[in-house]
Amino acid sequence: MKKLLLTATLLSCAFGFAQHGLDKDVANIEDKVIEWRRDFHQNPELSNREFKTAEKIAAHLKSLGMEVQTGIAHTGVVGILKGKKPGKVLALRADIDGLPVPERADLPFKSTAKGEFNGAEVPVMHACGHDTHIAILMGVAEIMSKNTDKIKGTIKFIFQPAEEGAPEGEEGGAKMMIKEGVLKNPDVDAIFGLHIGSGQPVNTIAYKSGGIMAAAQRFEINVKGKQTHGSTPWTGIDPIMASVKIIDGLQTLISRESALTNEAVVISVGKITSGVRNNIIPETAQIVGTIRTLDYDMQKHINDRMKEMVSAIAKAYRAEATVDISEGSAITFNNIELTKQMLPSLEKAAGKERVIEISAITGAEDFSFYQLEVPGMFFFLGGMTPGNTESFPHHTPDFFIDESGMLLGVKTFIQLSLDYLNN
């Protein structure tokens, strides 16, 4: 009954979609999409190691008669679908990697997979919903491949590895796919992407024109002191104490130096490493964390001040410290004109009352690199069960997605594709 009601709701809220004659195709794809998602969820693979995932995707696209490219950015897969009429080239993107997270959710398709991360064996889970992204785009590919007479132009289906970041010492993700020509031959005119959200109600779409997600940077601070016995700290230089003061000082860059009424800024420390036992003051300490910014001027200020502050604080405690800041993702910036143009398509797919304009968030996405090359739009798809009062964040063991929201993802991608290409 729930499935019938959901299908009826989705079909009734968009005359614009029905006019393309694809409403039955969309309704009939749901079981397949859910089956694919469960398979990927039960068999996740880490970044740049998505070998079996890529094989399954490529096999599906080939079965649809598409031109298929594999091995892009290690394990990326691209399907090229040409319409019956000439026109623009549109790209649709899904990310495919899992995370080194153990799954606690009690599901019949729960992941028990293992992988290697930074030299250690770790549990692997689709703790960010990339399994749903793959299945949704595979569903879109199947429907569109049967309806090439309705496509004016070409659609590139991009299945991208390593969105969560390549392993240390490796390249990967969107940046590498672009470097290896994913937006060329044929040249892409625009790109759309989505991300499912565990805290957003199913059958809703959230969007924002302009900056929607933050730029992400990784920082590493190495503090050097002087090792000594823990009973006589005055005979050494304590890098742990200096590190504590550095971490405390960094937060004043947010609370006292950032115009938070303009845009959000975040500095978070995720890892501290130092020492070997309780009665030895060590020689070194390492602090690793992330910087999230939604404005490049604010980002530059934070970067410059970190380099000044860290060495100064360390010196005050007789230690030495260096800071290394490396680039992660750029600001995910939705092209303003493209977003304005496609907003009616979002509303036709979901129903106007289910399309919500949001404020920017401090999560990051390497979809941003595609947007530096071509106009792009990124939006969020609801994945939280209606009536739930609690949801579990992404990247956590209890992360959970309500599968009934996935069909709207299929529908929205199709609506956007047909409207963009045929207009």
248 a catalytic residue: no
Q: Domain count of the chain?
A: 2
Positive/negative CA dihedral, 204, 210, 211, 213: positive
Question: Which residue among 281, 301, 327 closes a domain?
Answer: 327
Same domain, 263 and 139: no
11 and 71 inside one domain: yes
- Per-residue pLDDT tens, the chain, 423 aa: give them: 444 444 444 444 444 555 567 888 998 999 999 999 999 999 999 999 999 999 999 999 999 999 999 999 999 999 999 999 999 999 999 999 999 999 998 999 999 999 999 899 999 999 999 999 999 999 999 999 999 999 999 999 999 999 999 998 999 999 999 999 999 999 999 999 999 999 999 999 999 999 999 999 999 999 999 999 999 999 999 999 999 999 999 999 999 999 999 999 999 999 999 999 999 999 999 999 999 999 999 999 999 999 999 999 999 999 999 999 999 999 999 999 999 999 999 999 999 999 999 999 999 999 999 999 999 999 999 999 988 878 999 999 999 999 999 999 999 999 999 999 998
Q: Which of 163, 164, 238, 295 is catalytic?
A: 163
| Range list of H helices, 128-167 | 130-145
What CATH number does residue 113 fall under? 3.40.630.10
Catalytic status, residue 45: no
Distance CA 32, CA 195 (A): 20
203 with 234, same domain? no
Q: Please report, for the domain that includes residue 287, its CATH number.
A: 3.30.70.360
Which tokens hold the place of 242? Answer: 């200096």
Q: What angle do CA 166, 167, 172 make, to 5 degrees?
A: 25
Tell me if residue 343 falls in helix, strand or coil.
helix
Task: Please tell me the pTM assigned to this model.
Answer: 0.91
Using DSSP bridges, classify how beta strands 76-82 and 152-160 pair: parallel, antiparallel or unpaired.
Answer: antiparallel
Q: Are residues 94 and 113 in the same domain?
A: yes
Residue 390: the pLDDT is: 85
What is the pLDDT, as a whole number, of residue 357? 98
Domain end point (choices 305, 327, 349):
327
Q: Are residues 232 and 311 in the same domain?
A: yes
pLDDT at 11: 41
Q: Can you give the pLDDT at residue 134?
A: 99
Claim to verify: residue 342 and residue 196 sit in the same structural domain: yes
pLDDT at 21: 75
* H helix or E strand, kind and range, residue 116: strand 114-117
My answer on whether 346 and 200 are in the same domain is yes
Q: What is the pLDDT of residue 15?
A: 43
Contacts of 410 (CB under 8 A, 6+ apart): 26, 29, 30, 33, 136, 139, 140, 143
The pLDDT of residue 321: 98
| Pair 42, 176 in one domain | yes
Q: What span, in angstroms and rounded, lies between the C-alpha atoms of 103 and 113?
A: 10
Phi-psi region of 59 (alpha: psi -120 to 50; beta: other; left: phi over 0): alpha
Give the model's pLDDT for residue 18: 54
3-state SS, residue 4: helix
Look at the alpha carbons of 405, 407, 413, 415 in this order and tell me if their dihedral is positive or negative. Answer: negative
Asked if 408 and 139 count as a contact pair (C-beta separation under 8 A), the reply is: no
Clarify whether residues 205 and 234 are in a common domain. Answer: no
312 CB contacts (<8 Å, ≥6 apart)? none
For residue 355, which phi and psi values (nearest 5 degrees)?
-105, 120
Q: Are residues 9 and 158 in the same domain?
A: yes
Which residue range is the domain that position 296 belongs to?
215-327
- For residues 310 and 351, membership in a common domain is answered with no
Q: Which of 45, 95, 97, 142 is catalytic?
A: 97
pLDDT at 31: 97
Domain boundary among 280, 304, 327: 327
At residue 380, φ and ψ (nearest 5 deg) are -110, 140
Burial code of 357-389, b = ≥16 C-beta within 10 A, e = fewer?
Answer: eeebbbbbbbbbbbbeebbbbbbbbbbbbeeee
Residue 225's φ and ψ, nearest 5 degrees, are -120, -145
Verify that 159 and 10 share a domain, yes or no.
yes
Q: How many CB atoms lie within 10 A of CB 311?
A: 17
